[in-house]
């Protein structure tokens, strides 16, 4: 409480600066005991901080459902134009991409480095899977805005079972395989993205960014069959933004048993996100799928060392690529 006998002036009976400032606001707003209200508000913030951290990751899912609602409205509005247009969804994709790009810029200051490494033709992009792959959503938006291309993506089977997601997955060309379909898409000249670690990497990996690919080499075989380059992709700080409890024994067992990510997530921190595209691994008809998969793994394992060395030489703490 503030002693009214004290003054805001300099002297023996003067109040501390903050107490003086609170006293001024009390007189200004005509509110008594403002300091007690502020202390109570600070207490509430301390109590509810854990709850806020648990809610923020699901705000991303809320945004996805808003996107789906917009797509349904767009679909109803343009149903009569479908017979006259081959690009019915381009307007919707442009609008959604702009909204997600704005969210990326405001909340994460999102940047993409190495966009020039994406060829005009087909390419296979392999990326590290964060607890929530929000970086890939942002990347898809950037690709569509700046290059006018839709980057197809291979998604886990469980994503196609989420209520309401079917339209979103169709409009943004997500698929769950098989390998022949992936090869067909690449041979048609499109970009295709695959996370070799998938949901297991999203759940089990942590802030050390350890790669959890196992012995997977299907992505390498797809690139060989389609005769396209592989472009490694990594987003700095994606694990600092969102984290998962999937590494605990219980949630790992649940995933292995039911193949569904039951693990809770937390985070949504407004950290800086930078996506780096590495130098393409060119198509080589003499290389095997095992050798190509090992090359892709090596590219990702080198990312932390290369980024750290480069960023030490850069005053802005930002590097342009990883080799």
Task: Return the closest-CA partner of residue 293 out of 222, 181, 226, 217.
Answer: 217
Token pair belonging to 136:
């890939």
Q: What are residue 230's phi and psi, to 5 degrees?
A: -110, 130
Distances (CA, A) of 266 to 61, 129, 212, 246, 262: 13, 16, 21, 11, 13
Q: Which two tokens stand for residue 100?
A: 């997600």
Distance CA 74, CA 165 (A): 15
Active site residue 129: yes
Residue of 72, 129, 157, 305 with catalytic role: 129
Whether the Cβ atoms of residue 199 and residue 251 lie closer than 8 Å to each other: no
The per-residue DSSP string of 72-91 comes to HHHHHHTGGGGGG-S-TTHH
Residues annotated catalytic, as ranges: 129
């Amino acid at each position: 409480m503030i002693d009214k006998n004290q003054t805001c002036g300099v002297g023996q009976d003067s109040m501390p600066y903050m107490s003086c400032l609170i006293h001024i606001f009390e007189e200004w707003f005509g509110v008594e005991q403002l300091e007690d209200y502020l202390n109570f508000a600070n207490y509430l913030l301390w109590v509810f901080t854990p709850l806020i951290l648990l809610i923020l990751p699901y705000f991303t899912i809320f945004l996805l459902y808003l996107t789906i609602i917009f797509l349904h409205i767009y679909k109803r509005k343009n149903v009569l134009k479908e017979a006259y247009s081959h690009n019915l969804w381009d307007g919707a994709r442009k609008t959604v991409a702009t909204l997600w790009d704005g969210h990326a810029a405001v909340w994460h200051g999102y940047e993409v480095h190495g966009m020039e490494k994406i060829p005009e033709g087909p390419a296979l992009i392999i990326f590290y899977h964060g607890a929530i792959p929000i970086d890939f959503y942002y990347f898809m938006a950037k690709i569509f805005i700046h290059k006018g291309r839709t980057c197809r993506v291979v998604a886990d089977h469980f994503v196609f079972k989420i209520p309401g997601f079917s339209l979103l997955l169709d409009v943004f060309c997500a698929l769950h395989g098989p390998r022949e379909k992936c090869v067909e898409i690449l041979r048609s000249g499109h970009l295709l993205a695959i996370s070799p670690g998938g949901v297991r990497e999203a759940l089990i990996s942590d802030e050390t960014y350890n790669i959890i690919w196992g012995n997977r080499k299907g992505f390498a075989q797809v690139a060989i069959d389609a005769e396209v380059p592989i472009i490694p992709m990594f987003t700095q700080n994606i694990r600092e933004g969102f984290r998962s409890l999937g590494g605990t024994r219980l949630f790992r067992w649940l995933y292995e048993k039911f193949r569904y990510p039951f693990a809770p997530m937390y985070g949504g921190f407004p950290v800086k996100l930078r996506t780096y595209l590495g130098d393409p691994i060119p198509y080589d008809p003499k290389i095997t799928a095992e050798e190509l998969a090992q090359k892709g793994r090596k590219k990702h394992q080198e990312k932390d060392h290369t980024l750290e060395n480069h960023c030490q030489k850069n005053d802005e703490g930002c590097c342009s690529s990883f080799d």
